[in-house]
Amino acid sequence: MSNIPSFGIGTFRLTGQTAIDSVRNALDVGYRAVDTAQIYGNEAEVGQAIAESGVAREALFVTTKIWTDNYARTKLVPSLRDSLKKLRTDYVDLTLIHWPAPGNGVELSEYMEALAEAKAQGLTRQMGISNFNIELTRQAIAAVGQGEIATNQIELSPYLQNRRLAAFLKEQGIQVTSYMTLAYGKVLKDPVLARIAAKHNATVVQVALAWALQLGYAVIPSSTKRENLASNLLARDLKLDAEDMALIAALERNGREVSPEGLAPVWD
């Protein structure tokens, strides 16, 4: 089974000083996992925040994702070396293929083998995938071997529960990492989640994150506000009961927020 922290800070859509401040504040209030990506354009800012945080590198878990332009065998490793320079580190803990990008002109087996090569060279400790459906996950496993894929980072929220894919990943020993757990903030207005939050004297965000954690998923919420970063972390201590979990299970509506043409697979 992969060894991935259950709680991290996401940096999607954060750039410049905002990204630096968010990561620095997150590390300051107790986060130890940071998730970035080549396409976010903020790896250098993340690297700066880490360097200035005073937290030892070995205490951190840093994830980045390879962008589709860098999937070719000749490009993947050099692009990751470039990411490492920006992040000011000799290795990342986890590198993901960001999207399967079926129409990209690079075969899945080629980019998965190139990612395995990056791992063999010590540039990344673990490797994984993001936004892969069941069939493509099977192909990825076939390309690099059983037990080699640490996680599949997927959009997953109370409105998009992805149960078939999550069950398949569990069966394969692949950690589910949930991104967009708050469905772009849409769940914040949910009356069911609001009632559960009131019952536990918690926030709706804490309830949504606790739900994902209780199902065994890793979460990477982002925030630019220090108090929200600290508040989100408290989701780890919130225990939802069976009734709460059943109420949230009933919120499923296949509410997918992200499915870029040419990058996304055919969803399960």
Residue positions annotated with a catalytic role: 40
Q: What is the DSSP letter of 116?
A: H
H helix runs in the chain, sequence order: 16-29, 43-53, 73-87, 108-120, 134-144, 163-171, 191-199, 204-214, 226-233, 242-249
57 residue type, one letter: R
Q: Please, are residues 176 and 182 in contact by the beta-carbon 8 Å criterion?
A: no
Q: Which residues pair with 126 in a beta bridge?
A: 94
**In 10 A of CB 75, how many CB atoms?**
16
Task: Give the count of alpha carbons within 13 A of 163, CB side only.
Answer: 9
- b/e code 83-93 from CB counts within 10 Å (16+ = b): bbebbebebbb
